Amino acid sequence: MDMGRDPDRTVFHLKTLYEVVRELARIRDTREALRIFLPMAMGPLGIVSGFAVLRQGKSGELFTLARGLDSEIEARLSAGAKALLIKFFPPGFKSLGAEVATLTGRHLGRNEMLPDNIQALFALPVDDEIHVLVGFGPRLSGEGFGPDEKELLGGLISNLLTTLRNAGATGRALILNEELQRRNHDLERALDEARQAHAETDVQAFRLRALYDASFEMSGLGEPEEVLLSFLLTALGAVGGSGGYVAFLDDERGETLVRDRGMGREVDWQTPEIRSALLGVFVSLKDRIPQNMESRWATDLEAVERLPGRPGQALAFALDQRRRGVLVMGAKIGGGEYSPEEQSLCVSLSSMFMVSLDNALRFKTIARLNEGLTQRNLELQRTLDQLTSARQEIALLQRAKEAILAAVRGGHRRLDRVSLHDVLFITISSVVLAVLFNYANPSGIPLIPPALLAPSPETVDVDQALAEATNGSAVIVDARPQELLLAGSLPGSLHVPLPLFDFIYTMRLAPLPARTRFLVYGRTLSSHYDTEVALKLKAMGHDNVAVIDGPVESRLKRKP
């Protein structure tokens, strides 16, 4: 600028430049820069109209600003803004090294895309994505733009270009910053989600580990009390419970098993009140009562508060409808409520607990049955030993019988020659042999049959006996030896020969109730088997025993 031509105008122009630069220096938005610039450039030069067209961004967003133009011209300018910009900034235009294109003169008004009275037009290549056209109309004085005015406009446009480039860079920086902030926010959110997922994974791993340890430990326990304690400790440790207990009501065995930790006081678990409180938890569940091998948390606080101790939560479980129980846990060590995940973990633990407890109960039942079978086998072995001894005694007696018969037959042949000495000898020899036999054999043979000394048992006739046996009120016992069975037996009778009484009684008569009525028959001329068997039955605790009196041979029937 030539300062020698008009110092005042020069100063005025410099002040104008200073004011415009000062105002534009604080602008960070391209549209705001154009709004500030256009009136500040028109005012000092007395320009009556002006406009600015802006295209920015990859999408080519357009912005049109007009001052001093009527609405029709402004609308036409807006409609042709895109084509006007393409004329100066064709597709593929590169702003690197490009300079501001400046057109001045009245001929600009003949361009139909520009306002009619346009006097100066500036094309600003801000960058590859921001293109700006700024046009000015005539001056209010009607004079054209002189060298000083053109120089001032060039300075103003140059500052505007700088401001637009800074604003464009700032805008892109803001956009980039927003994008970075968005990405940082996304990363932070993803990091939080990853941390939460990691924490949930740790919790799930802990719970799975707890389930595995509980399954491994409880499956190896054989006593129900040990299973109860293992389940209680595992549940309390897994959810951080301060204490509690597990009570198991076994109605099959008529017993209540309890294991507790941290109760703080003794509780008599066998009282009806405690049993009622435990069953009250099941009643409170109503239609949600756990079925076989199921468990459910109680939701009725009144039912839970009636339980012993300081209950916080109660889990009802059922192996079946006669074997049920309740897991009761107090407050958490760290405070707060048990979460749904912790309650779900306890339900999973209870499933394995019920399987282990059922196995332990079955194992205990099998052990008890084995013990009974062992005792039974010992009793049978003793019976077999007695039977073997009895058979040996019978064989010995049979041989003695044959020897005596042989002696009697021999004696009969020499009967005429029997003397008093022979009779005495035989009698004394028999007594000595009997005494020696009884001395050598603990079972012995009584010299006088017990039946002869015992009171006579009740007697019934054969018709009454058969009637009672037919209506099921009595059991007929055939006490005769085996060889007499060939002649037949009374219908429905049980054959219990006297020598085998102990063995057959154990196998067939012992299971019958003590009040069973027995009617015994089996008498020969020489032996009262019926009376002796009747006495043995009374000795076994059967008081309702009678002997069938009278001949029964006509009523005997052979078995097929």
pLDDT, tens digit only, all 560 positions of the chain:
454 567 888 888 888 889 888 988 888 889 999 999 999 999 988 999 999 999 988 888 999 999 998 888 889 888 888 998 998 898 888 888 888 888 888 788 778 888 888 889 999 998 888 999 999 999 888 888 888 888 888 899 999 999 998 888 888 888 889 999 999 999 999 999 999 999 888 888 887 888 888 888 888 888 999 999 999 999 988 888 889 999 999 998 888 999 998 876 788 888 999 999 999 999 999 889 999 999 999 999 899 999 988 788 999 999 999 999 999 998 888 888 888 888 898 999 999 899 999 999 988 888 888 988 898 899 888 888 888 888 888 888 888 888 888 877 776 666 556 677 777 887 888 777 777 777 766 556 666 666 677 788 889 999 999 999 999 999 999 998 888 888 888 988 999 988 888 888 888 888 888 899 999 998 877 778 888 899 989 988 999 999 998 888 888 887 66
SS3 labels along 313-360: EEEEEEEECCEEEEEEECCECCCCCCCHHHHHHHHHHHHHHHHHHHHH
Rounded Cα gap, residues 121 and 135, in angstroms: 4
Q: Which of 52, 56, 30, 64 is nearest to 128 (CA)?
A: 56
SS3 labels along 118-149: CCEEEEEECCCCEEEEEEECCECCCCCCCHHH
Residues 120, 102: contact at Cβ < 8 Å? yes
- Residue 513's SS3 state is coil
Return the number of other C-beta atoms located less than 10 Å from residue 450's C-beta.
12
- The full DSSP string for 216-257 is HHHHT--SHHHHHHHHHHHHHHHHTBS-EEEEEEETTTTEEE
Residues 514, 559: contact at Cβ < 8 Å? no
Rounded Cα gap, residues 543 and 518, in angstroms: 9
Which residues, at least 6 apart from 113, have a Cβ–Cβ distance to it below 8 Å?
77, 80, 83, 84, 87
Residues 521, 530: contact at Cβ < 8 Å? yes
φ/ψ bin of 186: left (φ > 0), alpha (ψ from -120 to 50), beta (otherwise): alpha
Q: Is the pTM for the entire model greater than 0.85?
A: no
pLDDT of residue 189: 93
pLDDT of residue 136: 92
Rounded Cα gap, residues 560 and 558, in angstroms: 6
pLDDT of residue 553: 84
